[in-house]
Every structure is written in C-alpha cells, then in structure tokens.
Structure 1
C-alpha cells in the first residue's frame, strides 16, 4: 500500500512540476493581493502549467528575492502598481542582481498607472526608455476597437507579431490571422543594444502622448515617439540567457480582455488571441521556449576512433560534431535550423583560420547532430574549436574547445624518392656519385706508362 501511495505521489509531483527549465517558483507583485482576481484566467493558465505562484506587495516586510546569496524565486511578474517606489528590497541594483543570477522578469504596464521609479531605472539599465513621467498612452486613429474605443481610440487592434527577420524563429504568432487587442498601452523605445529585440511594434499611424498634460491638443514636437519608433512588447536576453520582457498593456491579460471580441473600422467582430499570445510570451520569458542545450561535442581525426584528442598535426583531416536540443514546453526535441540561418564552426587562433557551416549529420528523438570535416591549416600553435551561436529569442550557445596543433615531425616527412619532383635531382646525385666512383676505379687500376731511362754520362 505504501509503495502504491509513493508511486501516486511521484506521479502527482511529476505532473505538478513546472515545465520551465529554470524552475517553477514565480513571484507576482501587485498593489493588493485581491487584484489577482482580475487576472484569474491568465494566472490560472500559469498554475495549470505547474508554476508555484506566490502573491505579494512591494511594501511587504517579508519580501526578499535572495536568501544567503541564492535566489528565492525563479521568475518575477510585475503587474501595475500605484506606488512610486518599490522599496529597498526591489531596487534597480537588486533587480539587476536577480537577472545576473539567471532569474527572469516580466514587467506589465498600463497607462492608468505610472511605472515606479525602480522599474523605470531598471529598464533604463537595459537601454529601454519609458515616456517622461513614466507614463503615456498610445493611440491610433486607424487601428482601434470601434466597440469600446470609438472616441478615444486607445484600444489598439493589431495583427499578431511577424518574424523579426528571415532566419529567426517566431514564437509569438498564435496563427496567421490572429488579432490582438491592447488597451491602455504604454509605449517604449529601444536603444541600439544587440541584446534587445522588439516583439510587437506600433503601426506607422500610432503615437504616444501624455493624456494628463496634452489633453487639449497634441503638438508633434512634444510627442514621446510615433510609428515604428514605438515598441509595445519587447524582450531582453542577457548573455547568461536570463530574460526580461516588457509588456506595454497589462490590461490585455485581464479577464475582461483576454478573450474579448473587437472590431476594426470597417471590419467585422473577431475574438482576440490575447490568451494564446500571453501563453507564448510567458513561455518564452520563463524559459519554456527557445532554450537550446548542447549535449555533446566531439572532434577527431577523420577515420580515427580516438575522440577529442588534445593535440593534432598540421594539414590533417579533422571531423567535428555538436549535438543540440531545443526545449519546447515540456520536452527536449531536435533543434531544426530556420531557413536562411546557419550554425557555424570557427577554428581560430587569434582570428579564424576556418569558418564553416555545420550541416545536420544525424537526428535522434531529442537531438540533432551538426557536423563538418576540414583540413587543419599549415600553422602550428594553440587553436580553438568554437561554436558561437547567438540569435534573437534563442538561448546562447557558446562552446569552445582548445587543442594544440604541432608541426610535422622529422620522421613524418615523405622520403625524397616518392616525390616525383625530386627525381631529376636524385638522378643528378646518382650520376655524380657513379661518375666519381668510376673515375676512382679507373685511376686506381690504371698502370702508369714507364718512362725511357737516360744514358749514364761518361767522361
């Protein structure tokens, strides 16, 4: 009986465990714990996926992100709050330390609440800029909901995000014809950092203004940003693969909007895909999507069974292979390269001597092996096999293996008699030696000619 209960407990624990690769401890911060009822469907989806959610307020005395130098939570979710400061336990430095400790953060904003100074300064550290006063409203007079925002035009109705560019995986498009509704949206602008990626940009007809200070008229020179300058949803992935997401509209994940019906100007009613988009966004932020894992790296002489030797000889044929898996929701799967993308190997000293595309060699149920073969350069020294694969929305793959490359030993050079170009010189040497020996033989065995004797002189 006890063994049966143990098995049941184990299965229940396995089902209840989170699908995130970083853990299931989620801290949700809001003004009042009772406000979570407005996000019941959104938070219920997180609970159903196995997250252990703790609700707290920024001013709680028991609140602490670290204990004895270790993270107490794996993920943070900031919902809009009215407080200007989050207190001494949620300072920008502490939030940066949380990201450095591989914690993930999702910041949801709303134009009905000004962002706290801690959040504003924290985002500024990531090169994400909020409007002046940390508040603003994005409106669009061409892409709005005619049912609820026929006058203010402050409920944006937009198509689901498209891929950032060719060769980049897209995790945030529920379907080709999906529509999103974003009420009370706060826009932001992004710096030039390569760790930042916009997920959803504003249409070219949208702009951001401060409704409290510009309620009478909007001067174009006083606008915070307009058009494609505005990002509505953006993500930041640190070098340690920790993730930060900024959601400009927290209202879109409330129960009243997560499955609402909207209508564009001159359009018909449609049901928004906010719920599916929120699932994809939280799945990526909390590392349920886009996580790459290196299972094994192997290099060896082509045709040799010894793997990963520490030393090679110049101008030899080498084979390199790397096994990579991708985590998607609840399991590891073979990683498939997007079209127009390449996984490359660098064989470098100070600079690459070779930069080669790796192609799929074999596929298992949970991994893809990429490999290539090449000839080592005619240069001895310390070299690195390095795969440095960094793409938007994917965790970083940076594998480096150091080996020595020696010169050819004296007894490893080919003999001269097997080199056809040396045959004339060898023939010349042979002819010279043969001629010298023949001359010596003739000289030694040749009898000198006797000379005629002179007559003795007489007196």
Structure 2
C-alpha cells in the first residue's frame, strides 16, 4: 500500500509542479509558454528571440506543431499560460489542439503570438480571422513597396520592407524610441476600423501594395497603402493579448543582426530595429508592461473609518482605491489624471475624477444624492495599451427616518410666518 502511494506521488508531482507554475495576478511574468514549430531548425534560426524571453524568466516548451501528444490542458487545468505559433505552414495541429481549443485558450485569459508567412496555411489564417485580422487571400502575395524598401545588393527585390511607421505608444513599445527601421518580408493583413480591440503597431507606407511579385497585376490589389498592417495586436475584453505578424522571418537571427538602409535615405544603420521592436512588443504581449491591478477599494462616511452597510441620502462620504502597474519585476504605483468613479443607479448620479497622491492611491469625496435606492460605486477604466479595470461595489441608500428630518425647515419660514400672522390676526379680531 505504501509503495502504491509513493508511486502515485512520484507520477503526480511533475503535473502538480506544472499547474503551480501557471499565471498569477501577483506575478504576471511567472509563466510557461508553449512554442509550436514547423521544424526544430526554427529553434536555432530564431534563437535570439527565444533567449530574450528566457532571460526574462519565461519557461519555453518547444514542440512540433504536429506532435500527436500536444495538449493545452489536462484534468481541466491549463498547462500553459501563453502560446507562440511559429508554424505558418501547419495544416493540422497534433494531439488535442485545434482552432476552437486555441480560441478557448485566449477566451480563458491566455496570451498568443502568431507568425504567418506568404506560404501561410488556411489553419493559421482561420485563427487570425477569429482574432479580427484578414490576411491577403492570395497565398503567393507579398507586401511590395517601391519607395520604402531596404537597400540591398538585390535592388529589384522590393519585398524586403523597411518600415518606420510605428504606433505611438510608450506602454506598447517602451519609452526608448526605435530609431532604425524595422525589416519585414511577408504577407500583409487588414483590420476592421470598427474593431477597437485590434491595433496596428507596424504599418506599410502609402505606396505599398500586396501582390504576387512573380506575376503581372491583372487586377487592382485588394490591399494597398497604409491600410496594410504588417504587425497587429489585440487586447481582448478579458485582457488577454494577441500578437499577429505576417512574417516569421522578422523574428529570425538574420533579421535581428542585419543592418538597414531605407531607400531614398543616406542614413545606414548597423542594426535594424527588429530586435528592439519585437522584444519591447513581447513585453507588452506577456503583460510585463501595461498590466494594472486595483486593490483596497474603500468607502465610508466622512470622519469615520469603517465601511457602512447602508448610506442615508445627503451623507458625505469618502471613496478611495489603490492602482498599481506591473513593471516586469514588481508592482509600481500607477499615476494618471483620468481615473473616475461613478455613483450609479440606472445612470450615474455622481461622476467624480479621482485625485492621486502619486503613490498609487486615488481618492475623492462627495455627497450622496437626494435619491434612495440601490447604488453602485463603479470604476470603468480603459486606456490604450493598458489592461482595463472594472470595479463595482453595491450599497443601498435609504431616505430620512421620521425622526431625522429637521424640526423647522428654513425654506418654509415664510409659511411659518404667514401661519403665525393669521393666528395673531384671528386673536385680535376676536378681541
């Protein structure tokens, strides 16, 4: 019996260790990442990118995309907290992984990186479509640009794009400016302008278009100009993040180490911006930046410290909350001037911008409106690049009791005077 128990413990311990290493709100970067590859050669050809992740504490598990033992979860628990799909040609995943399971993976709050290519399979395209991105329908299409290409020995190859049209967001790309253009060779995609969950982080120039470079154009290209996105990101409503690139090559060691000179420019950079761009972007995708948490939500009457179970109309109250941002290694105070609280019942009766002490604490005071019912303190905070905050606390508000009204209402003094004058007049008349 003892031997059987020890055997069960030995078998279950590795699984227990895997499940314990999952994503934690208190330590967002302590996570396991599944990396699916078309070929193990990609592990070597893209080693600089993988090493940058491992150096920041990520545990990468490399698997072939067709491995029959693949699984995202076991016994109802996810084994990984993020996935990287560097398998643009895969026609079918192995094991229990498929399009629906990957979408469930994202719907459960996990992050995803997808690298497609001009030879991208329908499987990868289907996943991208579900994330709000449409790749060019032509499987042989490349993004071509005759004005913003990278100068090289092969002057006729204008599919090697040198783009510097980056999203202007420090939270997504970091505070250090990316000086050198980013090299890109692959397929372009479009996003729906009405979809505010998808953002273009690297765009093509107005002169770019998507077509097969080995054949003459028989009809106008479907993707043209700045509408072509080279790299996009998605932040879902559950704060899961997805990176979609039309090029696997841009993650490679060769691109990371390449110098670049943009056509029409006399400036030649010894190193292109790919390494800085993709490293900083991965920090955002894996929640090392732009990840907020709110703690210590408090409210009470002015002059008190305990949270009441009910308020009375016209009470003066204090409200406060602490907001912090994950810096990659620790939680730092988040400082902003646009955080607001609503005192809400069907519609906001009070809307106040919160003041901050620049140490993470936000606070305000206001008077409970002269309306009784069930109210909510609501904080709905959405800002580009940051995880959204949605806080609510329900509290009832009662009217005055019969013995809490003022004995004499100042606004009624004229009526009181009129009543007394009529009484005095009546007394005088009788006399």
Report TM bin, short chain. Answer: 0.7 to 0.9
Distance in 2 between the 1:125 and 1:117 partners? Answer: 12
SS at match of 1:124: helix
CA distance change for structure 1 residues 227 and 174 in 2, over 3 Å: closer, same or farther?
A: farther
Aligned residue in 2 for 1:422 = 412
Q: For each residue in 1:412-431, what CA deviation from the matched residue of structure 2 results, as whole angstroms up to 9, or x when unmatched?
A: 22121x62x43343344445
The alignment status of 1:247 with 2:249, answered yes or no, reads no
Answer whether contact 2:191 2:229 (CA < 8 A) is retained: yes
Q: Of the candidates 137, 159, 172, which is equivalent to residue 164 of structure 2? A: 159
Greater Cα offset, 179-188 or 328-337 = 179-188
Distance 1:375 1:93 in 2: 50
Partner of 1:198: 200
Match of 1:401 among 386, 393, 401: 393
Q: Deviations over 1:399-418 (max 9, x none)?
A: 011111111222222121x6
Name the structure 1 match of 2:287.
287
CA-atom RMSD in angstroms: 2.5
- Tell me which moved more, 92-101 or 132-141: 132-141
State yes or no: 1:23 paired with 2:30: yes
Q: In 2 relative to 1, CA 122–216 (structure 1 residues): closer, same or farther, beyond 3 Å?
A: closer
**Alpha-carbon distance in 2 for matches of 1:196, 1:68:** 33
CA distance in 1, matches of 2:153, 2:401: 81
State the Cα deviation string for residues 107-127 of structure 1 (Å, max 9, x = none): 11232xx22322211221222
CA contact (8 A) 2:180 2:260 kept: no
Q: Could you tell me how far 1:290 is from its partner in structure 2?
A: 0.9
Rounded to whole Å, the distance in 1 between the matches of 2:108 and 2:129 is 19
1:260 paired to 2:262: no
Q: How far is the alpha carbon of 1:22 from its aligned partner?
A: 5.5
* Counterpart residue number, 1:457: none
- Given the two structures, how large is their TM-score scaled by the length of structure 2? 0.87
Pick from 359, 364, 378 the counterpart of residue 372 of structure 1: 364
Shift of 1:79: 1.0
Which consecutive unaligned segments of at least 5 residues does structure 1 have?
A: 1-13, 443-459
Structure 1 match to 2:11: none
Give CA-to-partner distance per residue, 1:256-295, whole Å, 9 cap, x none.
1113111112322102121111111111111111100002
2: CA distance, partners of 1:119 / 1:319 = 51
Instruction: Give the Cα–Cα distance (whole angstroms) in 1 for the partners of residues 135 and 348 of structure 2.
Output: 41
Shift of 1:160: 6.0
Supply the distance in 2 between the matched residues of 1:254 and 1:273 (Cα, whole angstroms).
13
Provide the rounded CA distance (Å) in 2 between the counterparts of 1:216 and 1:122: 28
Of 342, 349, 367, the match for 1:346: 342
Q: Which residue of 92, 117, 131 corresponds with 2:136?
A: 131
- Determine whether 1:357 maps to 2:347: no
Q: Structure 2: which 5+ runs fail to align? A: 1-20
Tell me, what secondary structure is at the counterpart of 2:173?
A: coil
Q: Secondary structure at the match of 2:400?
A: coil
Select the structure of larger CA radius of gyration.
1
State the distance in 2 between where 1:18 and 1:272 align: 35
- Normalising by structure 1, we get a TM-score of 0.82
Matches within 5 A, 1:33-182: 33-87=40-94, 89-111=96-118, 114-134=119-139, 136-159=141-164, 161-163=166-168, 169-172=170-173, 175-176=176-177, 178-182=179-183
Q: Does the CA contact (< 8 Å) of 1:84 and 1:115 recur in 2?
A: no
In the superposition, relative to structure 1, how do residues 220 and 355 fare at CA in structure 2: closer, same or farther (>3 Å)? farther
* Cα gap change, 1:279 to 1:148, in 2 (>3 Å): farther
